[in-house]
């Protein structure tokens, strides 16, 4: 069993002309999940990548876990294409899904792990009825749309609250956080109970990508060293995609 804390480098702050090489450098520095931010210019005021970019990255990085964070309207229309292009995890915003339960099952039916995301202004209790069916909950600690924004401290309370709910209900979902994760915030973030740390600016924007990833992971792991054994689980690299038979059962 490995420590629960994992780094998910977000390519949003990478040099897109060198995407494959920069993503590989972040993974070489200890990142275990590659975080891919998909923006449509409607749900958020920015446009980024679509399935062809995910498919190209998948060709050059066959083994890493790809975590597609969909900041888009009508995610159901695009989930099959992202699954087909190589996503392992797909997360959708609670705020963007009219039929959230259906959308989460749709993700699973395509063989991916389903995650749900909440914006800074969305309360944790809005997820009460889907926590049993998600693989991860992503807490936005900035308003989505751009990298390099300031961390919103209230998100720590949301992480703590999710960790408490998970314990009290005996659930399994993992807690991911996204936005403003850096050397000066990561200690509090990990102590609050976040396990998958998305970081863009802190990894890609300045200096050596591999060293940045290593330094952030070191800081995170030293803050988590007090963790109790019940918070130790396997890493994402060891989590298989949903087997086909199970996928069929979960189809809605
Ligand atoms: C923001 C994105 C994030 C972003 C985080 O909408 O979802 O993944 O890359 O960037 P940093 O780490 O720079 O705050
Ligand atoms: Zn993201």
Q: What is the distance between the alpha carbons of residues 130 and 220, in angstroms, rounded to a whole number?
A: 28
Non-local (6+) Cβ contacts of 94 within 8 A are: 100, 116, 117, 118, 119, 122, 126, 127
199 Cα nearest atom in ligand 1: 12
Cβ–ligand 1 contact at 178 (below 6 Å): yes
pTM of the model: 0.91
| Angle of helix 19-28 versus helix 209-223 axis, rounded to 10 | 40
* Contact predicate 115/92, CB 8 Å: yes
DSSP state of 238: G
* Contact predicate 66/54, CB 8 Å: yes
The pLDDT of residue 107? 99
The pLDDT of residue 149? 98
82 phi, psi to nearest 5 deg: -70, -40
| Residue to substitute in 9, 12, 43 for testing ligand 1 pocket (most ligand atoms within 8 angstroms of CB) | 12
The pLDDT of residue 126? 98
* Predicted confidence pLDDT, tens digits, the chain (252 residues): 334 899 999 999 999 999 999 999 999 999 999 999 999 999 999 999 999 999 999 999 999 999 999 999 999 999 999 999 999 999 999 999 999 999 999 999 999 999 999 999 999 999 999 999 999 999 999 999 999 999 999 999 999 999 999 999 999 999 999 999 999 999 999 999 999 999 999 999 999 999 999 999 999 999 988 554 344 455 676 444 444 334 333 332
The pLDDT of residue 93? 99
Angle at the Cα of 26 from the Cα atoms of 140 and 37, rounded to 5 degrees: 35
The pLDDT of residue 225? 81
Cβ–ligand 1 contact at 199 (below 6 Å): yes
Nearest alpha-carbon partner for 55 in 101, 20, 22: 20
69 phi, psi to nearest 5 deg: -100, 105
| Residue 188 annotated among the catalytic residues of the structure | no
């Amino acid at each position: 069993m490995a420590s629960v804390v994992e780094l998910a480098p977000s390519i949003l702050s990478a040099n897109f002309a060198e995407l494959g090489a920069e993503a590989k450098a972040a993974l070489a520095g200890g990142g275990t999940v590659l975080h891919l931010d998909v923006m449509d210019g409607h749900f958020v005021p920015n446009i980024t990548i679509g399935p062809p970019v995910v498919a190209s990255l998948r060709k050059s990085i066959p083994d890493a876990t790809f975590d597609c964070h969909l900041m888009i309207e009508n995610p159901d229309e695009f989930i099959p294409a992202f699954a087909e292009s190589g996503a392992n995890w797909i997360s959708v915003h609670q705020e963007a899904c009219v039929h959230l339960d259906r959308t989460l099952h749709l993700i699973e039916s395509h063989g991916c792990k389903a995650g749900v995301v909440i914006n800074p202004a969305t309360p944790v209790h809005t997820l009460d009825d889907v926590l049993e069916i998600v693989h991860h909950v992503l807490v936005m600690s900035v308003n989505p749309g751009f990298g390099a924004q300031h961390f919103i401290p209230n998100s720590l309370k949301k992480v703590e609250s999710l960790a408490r709910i998970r314990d009290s209900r005996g659930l399994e979902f993992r807690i991911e956080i996204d936005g403003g994760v850096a050397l000066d915030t990561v200690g509090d973030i990990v102590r609050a109970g976040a396990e998958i740390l998305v970081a863009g600016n802190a990894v890609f924007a300045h200096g050596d990508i591999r060293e940045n990833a290593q330094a952030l992971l070191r800081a995170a792991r030293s803050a988590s060293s007090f963790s109790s054994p019940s918070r130790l689980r396997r890493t994402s690299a060891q989590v298989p995609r949903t087997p086909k038979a199970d996928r069929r059962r979960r189809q809605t």
